[in-house]
């Protein structure tokens, strides 16, 4: 039995992100997002234990969503799981709203798909 014990909503997204750490600066793509962290696809050589600053370019946002300090918890060759450690209060609010918007859009698409199936 595969049970997800996460306590917060995790949404699938594809948002460009700028990453910077002690010895690296580069880009990647956020592939899933939640209040406590995210998964990023990147060619950068990130390792568990690395600390990063993130600037996430979400659609319909006037400026990037900034995570002042994040810690890499796991990494594979092209993907990393990152825990948000320091996020300003206003940025945390923006993050929560963004996740809510993605969840609403996803629920709306599921309802529409169900209606199309019953209409067919």
**CATH number assigned to the domain comprising residue 50:** 2.40.10.220
What is the C-alpha separation between 95 and 83, in angstroms, rounded?
A: 14
Q: What is the arithmetic mean of pLDDT over 15-22?
A: 95
pTM: predicted TM-score of the whole model, two decimal places: 0.81
Q: What is the arithmetic mean of pLDDT over 60-73?
A: 93
What total number of domains does the chain contain? Answer: 1
Instruction: Confirm whether 3 is domain-assigned.
Output: no
Q: Check whether 80 has a pLDDT greater than 90.
A: yes
CA–centroid distance for 98 within its chain? 10
Instruction: Confirm whether 49 is domain-assigned.
Output: yes
Which residue matches tokens 């595969």? Answer: 2
Instruction: Confirm whether 66 is domain-assigned.
Output: yes
Residue 60 φ/ψ region, left for φ over 0, alpha for ψ in the -120 to 50 degree band, beta for the rest = left
Instruction: Confirm whether 20 is domain-assigned.
Output: yes
- Which residues form the domain of 57? 11-119
Q: What is the pLDDT of residue 72?
A: 97
Instruction: Confirm whether 33 is domain-assigned.
Output: yes
Q: Check whether 49 has a pLDDT greater than 50.
A: yes
Average pLDDT, the chain: 87
Instruction: Confirm whether 91 is domain-assigned.
Output: yes
């Amino acid at each position: 039995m595969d049970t997800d014990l996460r306590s917060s909503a995790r949404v699938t997204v594809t948002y460009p992100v700028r990453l910077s750490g002690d010895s690296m600066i580069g880009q990647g793509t956020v592939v899933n997002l939640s209040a406590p962290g995210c998964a990023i696809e990147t060619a950068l050589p990130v390792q568990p234990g690395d600390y990063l600053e993130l600037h996430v370019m979400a659609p319909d946002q006037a400026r990037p969503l900034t995570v002042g300090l994040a810690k890499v918890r796991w990494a594979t060759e092209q993907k990393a799981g990152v825990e948000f450690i320091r996020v300003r209060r206003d940025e945390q609010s923006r993050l929560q709203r963004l996740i809510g918007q993605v969840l609403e859009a996803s629920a709306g698409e599921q309802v529409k798909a169900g209606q199309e199936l019953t209409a067919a």
